[in-house]
Structure 1
């Protein structure tokens, strides 16, 4: 087949690179899992911290010392396993990305949530109380 016929038939002349499903490759510094998992945890953590602060009036450090560590560990384990399962099967987040909910949007939201948690902690530490 010629290149034009291959493109119209959905065939490509260069094969897609295989994504490694090895544990060490997935969790490598530049691998697909670390930033995505940390971003997802940060998004959940930021929303949960703000919700508890609004409902109970506890600052972030009080939330952590009043049972927040066990919730964090449990959520971290659950979310990490749930995030790794598709990667072990060779399914990337980019392949499931469409419309508004793209993998790039998830990465940026996670990065902003990480910054938000740090800013929340620093602001509450400096002010000596809750943000709101």
Structure 2
């Protein structure tokens, strides 16, 4: 769980990937921007998802299984890290754009 350890960036990346897809999907289906989504019950979903994915990501690490050892084909640990990083940037860009625009992106 060290700052530069394998868990923090991987867990944050997984949460960002889920958050980005969920934010875009809810925006397209309900027409709510990311700030409205948070105000209308999104905090509870965020807390639940964070707990679930944190535990699910830590269990293999505690059992001694590394993400690098299970990487094969196109689903490598490096690809997951880069997808997570892009999702983190995407969430920030989405929130910033909607804040500046004053409404939904789409």
TM-score normalised per structure 2:
1.00
1:4-83 → structure 2 map (5 Å cutoff): 27-83=1-57
The residue that corresponds to 1:120 in the other structure is 94
Q: Which runs of 5+ in 1 are unaligned?
A: 1-26
TM-score normalised per structure 1:
0.80
Looking at structure 1, the residues matched to 57 and 34 of structure 2 have their Cα atoms a distance apart, in angstroms, of 26
Q: CA RMSD in A?
A: 0.3
Asked which structure has the greater RCO (Cα within 8 Å, sep 6+), the reply is: 2
Looking at structure 2, the residues matched to 28 and 65 of structure 1 have their Cα atoms a distance apart, in angstroms, of 32
The residue that corresponds to 1:84 in the other structure is 58
Structure whose residues are more often helix by fraction:
2
The residue that corresponds to 2:74 in the other structure is 100
**Which is greater in Rg?**
1
